[in-house]
Amino acid sequence: MNNIKTYLFSAFLLIAIVTIQAQNATFEWSDLSSNTKVGLQNPTLVFPSVSGFTTYTLEKQGTQVFAPESIFITKFNANGDAGKTIDFSLPKRALKDATLLKIIEGKDKLYVFSFIAVKKDKKNVLYAQVYDNSTGIVSETKEVYTLPIEKVNTSGFFEVQLSEDKNTFAILVNKPFIKKTKENIEVVILDADLNTISNAKHTLSFDSERAYREKLYVDNDATVTIVKKTDIFKKEPVTSVITIKGDEITQQQVSANQFYISDNRVVTIKDKQYLLGFATDNAKPAVSMGGAKDKSFFIYNITDQKLIKNQEWNPEITKRILGKGFIDLKVIDVIVQNDDIFLIGDRFSEESKPIPGQNFEYNYTYNFGPGVVVKLNTNGDVAYDSLIQYGEEYKNHMKPLGSFKPFIKDNTIHFFANEKVSILEEKKIVFGWKNINAKAIVTKKLESDGSLSINAFKSGIVGGKDNVVDFAPTKTIQLDNNTYYIYALGNKYQAFGKMTME
């Protein structure tokens, strides 16, 4: 009964804060298939075209906990029907399987980066395997970088990033840890064919240790930015920004007393770099509560080395969300339109419990929502900070279904999302698990005042067994202004399809 009351309250609250409108779209769904099928578990959609799209997924070879992994790639036609699946294994060296570092979508190519550190031959090697979507061929494994090492547990590590125009790769090589020395790095710039353009070695002002986290960015002009967090388990964690252009390097500390950055994104606007994200004035609860309670959003001018704005959330967000523990807020997108910047965030948290009687096996619960969107400009003028009210809970393989996906249509920002059918139909009382969980695809339009209007598709109910299948907005790819390939996953069923907005 308490669950029903909570559900009804959430439904009434959502109806009160948004306007629900109806719009038309046509949907072409493939046949539903088991989401446990080898090669189609937890797929990511890439390479949209008029003839179809492609998916890739990383899966274990066998049921053992530490079983090696393979990449599975499947091509789909425009109706969402699967064609041939190819698979290939990650590299091996000295009978040791590579560890996946990152999969990056380029221009009709999929880049799979992995690494192997072996004590016997004293080297840590970064590998790349490239899938050409036009030919369906996977290249021979390429050794991108070889790092000499003495021990595996102090073998250094790599990070890889691709520029927005998909022409330039940056490889950040963090050299092996050496006591009582400063940190040594190397930045390697590659073209889209993984040919080396340049490399530069630098010694940073940080101690050579691994008690930090960092993010890597690369601009179209090969400017590399590293956002590094040190003292992450202390009361006053430090965030620094390192900018590298060829042999030139600039280091600056961004965080300050009572200004501790939790998550961020780097963007370039009119030849200047900016750091945007979320922050807190008290990082101490991060250890005990599982994350810092974000209290503000900010914009920092990296090029001019100055904080432009650090602003607390508006009272409504503070009252409705922050007081209940608004932690683990992540930046999911930054959209720049003319002089306007839209900072979009989403809350995510993960819980796990061991499965009784099983070794190294856990049941996971993934919680998403609510989301936030902030409209501001490079001068720090804030138009609004608004709440994207929703909440989702998923288990195990359903992790990717959380969140929402922002997109631009007719120069306006919209969000693809799920919504309860009962809310759209304004049912006052809903009984039965099937009816309560039935969902439909909607878009949420961001109005000029920061409010959201729900646009429900008249034919947008996602099918599946008992209609209990969720549309996956984080796995939607756009073909053109009106056409999208979409993915849905429900109780042991999944479907691919095409949505054409009218």
Q: pLDDT tens for residues 241-257?
A: 999 998 999 999 999 99
- Mean pLDDT value across residues 405-431: 82
Q: How confident is the model at residue 21 (pLDDT cuts 50, 70, 90)?
A: low
Q: How confident is the model at residue 260 (pLDDT cuts 50, 70, 90)?
A: very high
Looking at residue 17, its pLDDT comes to 41
Q: How confident is the model at residue 170 (pLDDT cuts 50, 70, 90)?
A: very high
Sign of the CA dihedral 385, 388, 393, 394?
Answer: negative
Looking at residue 92, its pLDDT comes to 94
> What tokens appear for 110 in the block?
């999929």
pLDDT greater at residue 158 or residue 38: 158
Q: How confident is the model at residue 384 (pLDDT cuts 50, 70, 90)?
A: very high
Give the residue from 216, 236, 219 showing the smallest Cα distance to 279: 236
**SS3 state of residue 500:** strand
Looking at residue 329, its pLDDT comes to 82
Longest dimension (CA), the chain: 68
Strand bridging mode 19-23 / 452-461? parallel
Q: How confident is the model at residue 19 (pLDDT cuts 50, 70, 90)?
A: low
Looking at residue 8, its pLDDT comes to 35
Lowest model confidence (mean pLDDT) among 12-21, 27-36, 325-334: 12-21
Q: Is 3 a residue whose pLDDT tops 60?
A: no
Ramachandran bin of 289, using left for φ above 0, alpha for ψ from -120 to 50, beta for the remaining angles: alpha
Q: How confident is the model at residue 427 (pLDDT cuts 50, 70, 90)?
A: confident
Cβ-Cβ contacts under 8 Å for 17 (sequence gap 6 or more): 389, 451, 452
Q: Where are the alpha helices (DSSP H) in 226-358?
A: 285-289, 315-320
Cβ-Cβ contacts under 8 Å for 382 (sequence gap 6 or more): 309, 311, 374, 375, 376
Q: Is 459 a residue whose pLDDT tops 80?
A: no
Q: Is 464 a residue whose pLDDT tops 70?
A: no
CA distance 96 to 115: 10
Q: How confident is the model at residue 122 (pLDDT cuts 50, 70, 90)?
A: very high
Lowest model confidence (mean pLDDT) among 95-99, 159-163, 202-206, 359-363: 359-363
Q: Is 327 a residue whose pLDDT tops 90?
A: no
Q: Is 383 a residue whose pLDDT tops 50?
A: yes
- Mean pLDDT value across residues 147-155: 87
Looking at residue 15, its pLDDT comes to 34
Strand bridging mode 142-148 / 69-77? unpaired
Across the chain, mean pLDDT equals: 86
Q: Is 320 a residue whose pLDDT tops 70?
A: no
pLDDT greater at residue 289 or residue 403: 403
Q: How confident is the model at residue 26 (pLDDT cuts 50, 70, 90)?
A: confident
Residues 287 and 320 sit within 8 Å (Cβ to Cβ): no
- Mean pLDDT value across residues 100-128: 96
Q: Is 400 a residue whose pLDDT tops 70?
A: yes
The pLDDT > 90 percentage for the chain reads 52
Q: Where are the alpha helices (DSSP H) in 293-361?
A: 315-320
Q: Is 325 a residue whose pLDDT tops 70?
A: no
Residue with structure tokens 């994350």? 291
Q: Is 486 a residue whose pLDDT tops 70?
A: yes
CA distance 449 to 451: 6
Looking at residue 439, its pLDDT comes to 77
Q: How confident is the model at residue 491 (pLDDT cuts 50, 70, 90)?
A: low
CA distance 329 to 332: 9
Looking at residue 196, its pLDDT comes to 96
pLDDT greater at residue 247 or residue 391: 247
Residue with structure tokens 């990070």? 159
- Mean pLDDT value across residues 305-332: 80
CA distance 39 to 72: 5
User: In one letter, which amino acid is 3?
Assistant: N
Report whether the peptide linkage leading into residue 237 is cis, meaning its omega lies within 30 degrees of zero.
Answer: no
Q: How confident is the model at residue 323 (pLDDT cuts 50, 70, 90)?
A: low
Q: How confident is the model at residue 12 (pLDDT cuts 50, 70, 90)?
A: very low
Residue 8, phi then psi, degrees to nearest 5: -65, -40
